[in-house]
Amino acid sequence: MTLLPTRALGPYTVSSIGLGCMNLNHAYGVPPQEADAIALLHRAVDLGITLFDTAALYGLGDNERLVAKALATRSEPVTLTTKCVLDFVDGKRSLNGAPDAITRTVEGSLDRLGTDHIALVYLHRLDKKVPIEESVGALVRLKEAGKIGAIGLSEMSAATIRRAQAVHPIAAVQSEYSPVVRNPELAVLDACRELGIAFVAFSPVARGLLAGAVRKADYAAHDIRAQMPRFTEPNLTHNLQAVDAYDALAARHGMTPAQLSIAWTLARGEHIIPIPGTRSIRHLEEDVAAATMALPEDIFAEIDAIFAPGAIRGARYAAAMQAQIDTETLPGEDLA
């Protein structure tokens, strides 16, 4: 097992880069064969990754089962996190932040993960029908019962984070963050730094946009990018102009676009932990290499110039999904 630099995640010390496990059987078209997915998870452990992120929602629970099966055969210590509030109930996607629903989902996760204790559980989304204090309270009771070790939030605003923190210390906040997606810079990154909360950056390569994976809108069936405005036409053609400039910048510095994006994310703060996801062992190895890549100071201004306001058009999510997001929006951000 390789040793990577580490960062704090609440009470835990984890590798500075984690692994987002969602795409191993959820949201990006046909999933890989189970044996291939397990091989990738094992390689992640070999490379020194100790933080693995899953959720009850992913693959109707199959993602949790997959991760548990893969990690059960390894003796290396890892920190496993999952999420509640978003779940599948009777085969339908459900958003429910009521305490009884949270308890039910976490109990299901414990069963699927084959454990009696989960290191950290996030509230996957804010259920606007339920006060955040009640949702956090449900996780507090599960923590007091010894079933979880720490509490996290996902895609929530600084104001919501502060309300949650008043109920119980929050260990981590997870949101999308990359050179393309800067919403956390409005308030959440600063709130997390002030409150001593780790910020876990999902999609640090912008769902493949900054990894050479998106060149045209020809997505496989069930790929969520086919419903995301910035990944569909006419926005995609416009957005790829900025991506081309970014790719050239990475090449000039001897890095892959994904490595530049992950190194950039790490450099934005010592409390930030990116969790890229991939189905490719080669890409996984490239991603992990970014943990020790230093960036020249002037590259940050160059990236800011490439992704200046207007460089990326289209919302992060389709309207129905965007309605479930509590994070701040940038001035003039295109939500159409």
The model's pLDDT over 115-152, given as tens digits with 9 standing for 90+, comes to 999 999 999 999 999 999 999 999 999 999 999 999 99
CB 330 within 8 A of CB 182: yes
Task: Output the six-digit token pair for 2.
Answer: 């390789």
3-state helix, strand, coil in the chain (%, to 5): 45, 15, 40
| Residue 193 parent element (H or E) | helix 188-195
CB 179 within 8 A of CB 148: no
β-bridge partners, 88: 93
**Average pLDDT score over residue span 303-331:** 92
**Average pLDDT score over residue span 6-31:** 96
pLDDT of residue 91: 83
Contacts of 266 (CB under 8 A, 6+ apart): 16, 17, 272, 274, 290, 291
CA angle, residues 314, 320, 324, in degrees to nearest 5 = 100
- With a cut of 60, say whether residue 239 has pLDDT above it: yes
- Is residue 246 among the annotated active site residues? no
Percent residues over pLDDT 90 in the chain: 91
Amino acid at residue number 258: A
CA distance 179 to 47: 25
CA distances from 241 to 235, 246, 312 (A): 10, 9, 9
Q: Is the whole-model pTM more than 0.85?
A: yes
pLDDT of residue 294: 94
| Residue 301 parent element (H or E) | helix 298-306
- With a cut of 60, say whether residue 336 has pLDDT above it: no
So what's the architecture of 6-216+256-294 in CATH? Alpha-Beta Barrel (3.20)
93/70: higher pLDDT: 70
Residues 28, 58, 246, 317: which is the catalytic one?
A: 58
Omega cis (within 30) before 234:
yes
Give the pLDDT band of residue 333 (cuts 50, 70, 90): confident
Around 134, how many Cα atoms within 13 Å sit in the side-chain half-sphere? Answer: 14
CB 198 within 8 A of CB 192: yes
The model's pLDDT over 268-284, given as tens digits with 9 standing for 90+, comes to 999 999 999 999 999 99
3-class DSSP assignment, residue 25: coil
Give the pLDDT band of residue 47 (cuts 50, 70, 90): very high
CA distances from 117 to 28, 142, 248, 267 (A): 29, 10, 46, 32
pLDDT of residue 272: 98
| Residue 152 parent element (H or E) | strand 148-154
- With a cut of 90, say whether residue 334 has pLDDT above it: no
CA distance 5 to 292: 8
Give the pLDDT band of residue 224 (cuts 50, 70, 90): very high
Give the pLDDT band of residue 29 (cuts 50, 70, 90): confident
Neighbours of 69 (CB within 10 A): 15
Neighbours of 259 (CB within 10 A): 22
- With a cut of 90, say whether residue 103 has pLDDT above it: yes
**Average pLDDT score over residue span 282-300:** 97
32/90: higher pLDDT: 32
Give the mean pLDDT of the chain: 96
- With a cut of 80, say whether residue 223 has pLDDT above it: yes
pLDDT of residue 330: 87
β-bridge partners, 85: none
Map out the domains of the chain as residue ranges.
Answer: 6-216+256-294
The model's pLDDT over 143-190, given as tens digits with 9 standing for 90+, comes to 999 999 999 999 999 999 999 999 999 999 999 999 999 999 999 999
Q: What is the total residue count of the chain?
A: 336
**Average pLDDT score over residue span 223-240:** 96
CA distance 166 to 125: 18
CB 51 within 8 A of CB 41: no
